[in-house]
Amino acid sequence: MASPFATLPPELLLHVLSLASSHRPTAVALSLVSHWVHNHVERNLYHTVSLSSSRSLVAFIASPNSKPHAFAHNLVKRLSITALGPISNIDEVLKKCTGVTSLVCGFSGPSYLHCARSLKQPVAPPEITTFRLPIAPHEQFLIALACRDGIDMSIISPSVTHLRIQLTPATTSESVARLRELSYLTHLAITYRHGLHGNANSVKEMIKPVLEEGRLKILVIYVTGAGSEAHRKEIEEWRTDSALEVIDSTSASSTQKCLGCRPHTLIIAKRATAAVLPQWEQGVNIWDVSSI
């Protein structure tokens, strides 16, 4: 019996494959059907790449090597690197995926910088300029090791418009204040553990220099490690500053009220209930105010 797909117009069949392959497990299964199908679902297979181990780093590097030179640049748009290393492999992946628009960094900034300099990359001396990544994504997430030693500007794209960071015991006010150097930054999300830096007012002081630049449109505050009562107290601490316009995500009416009259930065404070990486892999838009 002939396959029912054989009777479908080619453009309809391609549309079906495109829709089906937007679900990654399905895309992987489809890629094994035939060489022709593989070629048509490959774009979705490589659109979002998550590398969480040294093995996945090596496998990914080997895959584009068998493709045209611009393969990784053209197809990989969302990239997550949470593998510990080798740092040289991380550097090689970043150099291949220069078309990435959204990047999750879970590797050590100081280690990456040391490796890049040891590889004799053509960068200016540290006293002249700050070392930058070989790619320039507009959305970036700094998690895990990327935040362990504080905020490292060397692994933040100067072109970033949407940035999410985590505050750790090593985070200093000076390192957070350097975010002012990001001239295109309009959306900032900050995650911190309740009580880590004293209270909400302490965190406000840390981010005040960034707010004073007047470029931020949205600031999202995620508080972790707190129960419901602590969550309410933390939100209330954010509300005590009349100079800030804050939305409690549990109140739909306050959201609408602030959306209709937003003279300053829109600040959304809420308790973090999900890990960053799974949200990113699922394509959750943390900047969509209507869904927060």
- Tens digits of per-residue pLDDT, 76-133? 999 999 998 898 899 999 998 999 999 999 998 888 887 776 665 554 454 444 567 8
| Greatest mean pLDDT range, 69-73, 129-133, 250-254 | 69-73
Picking from 248, 167, 232, 153, the residue whose alpha carbon sits closest to that of residue 204 is 167
pLDDT at 67 over 90: no
Q: Per residue in 7-20, pLDDT tens?
A: 666 666 665 666 66
Q: How are the residues of the chain apportioned to helix, strand and coil, as percentages rounded to the nearest 5?
A: 45, 15, 40
Give mean pLDDT, residues 58-68: 80
The two tokens of residue 163 are: 């940035």
Residues above pLDDT 90, as percent of the chain: 29
pLDDT of residue 174: 92
Mean pLDDT of the chain: 77
H-state helical runs in the chain: 10-20, 24-30, 35-47, 54-65, 71-75, 87-96, 109-118, 145-148, 173-177, 200-212, 228-239, 252-260, 276-281
pLDDT of residue 124: 45
More confident residue, 227 or 213: 213
Q: What is the DSSP string of 12-63?
A: HHHHHHHHHTTSHHHHHHHTTT-HHHHHHHHHHHHHEEEE-SHHHHHHHHHH
Cβ-proximal residues to 32 (8 Å cutoff; 6+ apart), any chain: 38
Q: At what angle do helices 109-118 and 87-96 cross, to 10 degrees?
A: 80
The neighbouring-strand residues paired with 222 are 191, 270
DSSP state of 212: H
pLDDT at 247 over 70: no
Band of pLDDT at residue 4, cut at 50, 70 and 90: low
Examine the pLDDT at 169 and tell me if it is beyond 70: yes
Q: What are phi and psi of 223, to 5 degrees?
A: -110, 125
Q: The pTM is what?
A: 0.78
